[in-house]
Amino acid sequence: MTQRVITADGLAKLVTEWAKKGAVYAPVKAGSKDWTEFRRVTSLKETDFSRVNTKQSAKGLLFPQREVMLRFKDGKSEEPAAPEEQVILGIRPCDAAAIAFQAKFFTGQGQTDPYFKARLDRTTFIGFACNTPAETCFCTAVGGSPSGTRGLDLLLTDIGGKYLAEPVTDKGAALIADMPDPAIGDLERKLAEKCAEQMPQAIDTAALKRRLDSGFEHPVWDELNLACVNCGACTFLCPTCHCFDVTDEERKGRGARIRVWDSCQFCIYSQHASGHNPRQTARSRYRNRVMDKFKYTVDMVGELSCVGCGRCIIECPAGIDVRETVEVLTRQLPEAAEKK
Amino acid sequence: MSREEALRKRARELLESKQVVMVVGHRAASTKGKAQPAFIAKPEDAESLIFDETCGQNLAGHLLKVKHLGKIAVVTKGCDSRSILVLLKEKQLDRAQLHILGVGCEGVKEDGKLSDSCITCEYPNPIVCDEMLGEPAPGDRLQTLNPKPQTGELTSDERWRELSEDVSRCIRCYACRQVCPNCYCPVCFVDASQPALVGKTTELSDNMVFHIMRALHMAGRCVECGSCARACPMGIDLMKFNRKAAQIVKERFNVVAGVKEDDAPALTVFDPNDKQEFIR
């Protein structure tokens, strides 16, 4: 599909136009705080693309932390109205890939989650390629790229006051059909390559998976989990984590069925109605998270559930670094024979 | 010998002589400016121990995870020692099974800035310890350098508005609870499910119930180490709640948590002379 060039003014006009037709979400500086968050905007002026990643990923725009599934009153229930059309502008390639992963999970296993699907169908993803990685970025180690297009409709690359726009889908191409063709050669690729060069080498995730396949009871887990405090910060900030809990809130015959994010790090997550809890210990919960990222989702939907955004590294109150965890596991777990 | 060298030497000696089975301390994390709790069981691993301005984790709570192993040595700055005292009084730790390696603390930094709790800290040195490594930190130096953050100067409405704004950012990851050395209930009230006591959503009302109830549970026990505020990924100053509670406990009962070895926790004591103006 034809690449185009968009000037800053051109992008500003587009944003204003899109905001008239639906919601536009983009990174915005979070008040007095030193980070950015996806917020609804009506003009490009409100946005701030200076950070590599937003504090929270964009996952909440398709899978909100708190979502009303239905409301009920006197024995009758009512489903919420269809979500509005939305444009997510300035999503990084890692976060977009994470939503593509979630789409596989929510819609690709013979079951379709109607709430996620309704939002996905009404969302346009406009990505921002990364020109400079953060210290904690490692998308290149887990199969991603700072200029990856997975999950996107359109990828923008900042080429100094202007943006090179690369359509990924017809929807993306239509957005920029009126823009001029670029006179610039392979600048975008060069910028992305330069960024990728600064990032870590790929992890042999297939070998790691084979190690994890037979490493469930290995004593390495006894040491690895000790520093972990079992909070859910990593899971809630993770762009691929997708677990939820459903509760009914009811008072005098009226109420709502609500789903909220849940975290495998919480003791109640795996507690059965009988009171039995198969993951009673901090050790087993920590192991579950690592296993989930690098083994379980590979078994379930055929891919890792880590996109290398680095949020868990930045925010872990115990200073745990998943790159280090992977390194220790690769070093200590014996590699099982490859299954035929 | 620097303090860090002394720390490593003593840790190694204690492990080699089998006086302790583990040394709980800090080691450098992979990202700059961050430390990670370290659980050292082999004498040769003592080399990874550090103690500097990045070591903001209160290690007292981590002791509860490893106390079953035997006698533990723990690197202890002022606030850690206060938490240990609270845990001893609450019968969660056994003093005979602890070897406290005291260190004077010059304050913990986050992103190069002195943590709020360290600005107001009156106890940079351990209240209780078996040996001091290095020199004690000067007592009130930090306070005189930095003004105390304002608390309790607002009207009730203003305070509610401010706290609502803060708490509305909460994502209920419970990092505050999990890093708190004095939050150790086997089942937290927010995790109770039969029946559920608190809504699990991020609605303001649910978030507020969680934070207010937690603050009340901490009253008279919180040692104001500030771990919760530093742990919060959403930058909520959770110490606003805890500072206020500590201030009230001090005013009404003249008790400061974890600064004396022999007093009882403020809210476990009934004194007929307590002010009881709420009973009419």
- A253-306 pLDDT tens trace: 899 999 999 999 999 999 998 889 999 999 999 999 999 999 999 999 999 999
Pseudo-torsion of CA B213, B219, B224, B227, nearest 10°? -30
CB atoms within 10 A of CB A20: 8
Q: What's the mean pLDDT in A162-182?
A: 87
Q: Which amino acid is at B41?
A: A
Q: Contact at 8 Å (CB) between A22 and A84?
A: yes
A340: confidence class by pLDDT, cuts 50, 70, 90: very low
Task: Answer whether A225 touches B (CB < 8 Å).
Answer: no
Contact B171 A65 (CB under 8 A): yes
Considering the domain architecture, whether residues A188 and A232 belong to the same structural domain is answered as: no
Q: Are residues A179 and A234 in the same domain?
A: no
List the single residue in B66, B179, B203 with the smallest CB-CB distance to A317.
B179
- Residues of B whose CB is below 8 A from A55: 233-234
CA B112 to chain centre: 20
Contact between B191 and A268 using a beta-carbon 8 Å cutoff? yes
Q: Which of A243, A237, A241, A246 is nearest to A68 (CA)?
A: A246
Residues A212 and A289 in one domain: yes
Whether residue A18 is predicted with pLDDT greater than 60 in this model: the reply is yes
* Whether A160 and A258 share a structural domain: no
Same-domain status, A56 and A80:
yes
Task: Determine, yes or no, domain membership for A339.
Answer: no
Closest chain A CA to residue B40: A223
Q: How confident is the model at residue B3 (pLDDT cuts 50, 70, 90)?
A: very high
User: Of A163, A178, A197, which one is at a domain's C-terminal end?
Assistant: A197
User: Which residue of chain A has the CA closest to B184?
Assistant: A229
- In this structure, the answer to whether residues A175 and A299 fall within a common structural domain is no
Residue of B nearest to A257 (CA): B201
Nearest CA in chain B to A280: B186
Q: What distance in Å separates the CA atoms of residue B136 and residue B134, rounded to the nearest whole number?
A: 7
Residues 28-57 of chain B whose Cβ lies under 8 A from any Cβ of chain A: 29-32, 34-39, 57
Q: Would an 8 Å CB–CB cutoff place B231 in contact with chain A?
A: yes
A338 vs B41, more confident: B41
Q: How far is B22 from chain A (nearest CA, A)?
A: 12
Same domain, A154 and A26: yes
Q: Say if the Cβ atoms of B175 and A136 lie within 8 Å.
A: no
User: Could you tell me how many CB contacts below 8 A there are between chain A and chain B?
Assistant: 105
Q: Does any CB of chain A come closer than 8 Å to the CB of residue B66?
A: yes
CB A122 within 8 A of CB A86: yes
In-domain check, residue A41? yes
Phi/psi at B73 (5° precision): -95, 140
* A162 within 8 A of A7, measured Cβ to Cβ: yes
CB spacing of A55 vs B231 below 8 angstroms: no
Q: Decide if pLDDT at A337 tops 70.
A: no
> Considering just the CA atoms, what is the radius of gyration of chain A in Å?
21
A37 within some domain: yes
A338 lies within 8 A of chain B by CB: no
Hey, which residues does A128 pair with through a beta bridge?
Answer: A156
Taking a C-beta distance cutoff of 8 angstroms, is the pair A226, B37 a contact? Answer: yes
CB of B200 within 8 Å of a chain A CB? The answer is yes
Question: A86 and A66 in one domain?
Answer: yes
Please tell me the distance from the alpha carbon of residue B119 to that of residue B237, in angstroms, as a whole number: 14
In a domain, A340, yes or no: no
B33: left (phi over 0), alpha (psi -120 to 50) or beta: left
Among the partner-chain residues B57, B199, B230, the one whose CB lies closest to the CB of A249 is B199
Q: Does residue A181 lie within any of the structural domains?
A: yes
Do A50 and A181 lie in a common domain?
yes
Q: What percent of chain A has pLDDT over 70?
A: 96
pTM: 0.93
SS3 B102: strand
Tokens of B58: 């209160």
Does a structural domain hold residue A78?
yes
Which of B30, B62, B174 shows the shortest C-beta gap to A321? B30
Residue A337: inside a domain, yes or no?
Answer: no
List residues bridging with A27 in a β-sheet.
A38
Q: What ipTM does this complex have?
A: 0.92
Domain match, A190 and A118 both: yes
Return the residue in A68, A231, A243 with the most chain B beta carbons within 10 A, the one to mutate for interface testing. Answer: A231
Task: Band the pLDDT of A198: cuts 50, 70, 90.
Answer: confident
Look at residue B132 and give its three-state secondary structure.
Answer: strand
pLDDT average, residue stretch A194-211: 85
Spell out which residues of chain A touch residue B36, defining contact as CB-CB under 8 Å: 227, 318-320
Mean pLDDT confidence for A23-27 = 98
Q: Do the chains contact at A260 and B200, CB–CB below 8 Å?
A: yes
| Domain housing A135 | 4-197
Whether residue A184 contacts residue A9, with contact meaning beta carbons closer than 8 Å, is answered with: no
**B268 secondary structure, DSSP code:** G
Q: What are phi and psi of A110, to 5 degrees?
A: 80, -5
With CA atoms as reference, the chain A residue closest to B236 would be A33
Q: Are the beta carbons of B201 and A320 separated by less than 8 Å?
A: no
Domains: count for chain A: 2
Please indicate, yes or no, whether residues A210 and A191 belong to a single structural domain of this protein.
no
Clarify whether residues A164 and A100 are in a common domain: yes
Tens of pLDDT, residues A36-78? 999 999 999 999 999 999 999 999 999 999 999 999 999 899 9
Beta-strand (E) ranges in chain A?
A: 4-7, 23-29, 36-41, 66-73, 76-78, 86-91, 123-128, 154-158, 162-167, 244-251, 254-261
**CB B178 to CB A319 under 8 A?**
no
41-80 of A, contacting B, C-beta below 8 A: 55-56, 65-66
pLDDT at B147 over 70: no
Using the Cβ of A321 and the Cβ atoms of chain B, whether some distance falls under 8 Å is answered with yes
- Over residues B19-72, the pLDDT tens digits come to 999 999 999 998 888 999 999 999 999 999 999 999 999 999 999 999 999 999
Q: What are B161's two structure tokens?
A: 């508005």
Boundary of a domain, candidates A145, A179, A197 = A197
Mutation for testing the B interface, residue in A32, A226, A322 having most B CBs under 10 Å: A226
Task: Pick the last residue of a domain from A197, A229, A256.
Answer: A197
Nearest chain B residue to A316 by CA distance is: B231
Band (pLDDT 50/70/90 cuts) for residue A311 is very high
Per-residue pLDDT for A125 more than 80? yes
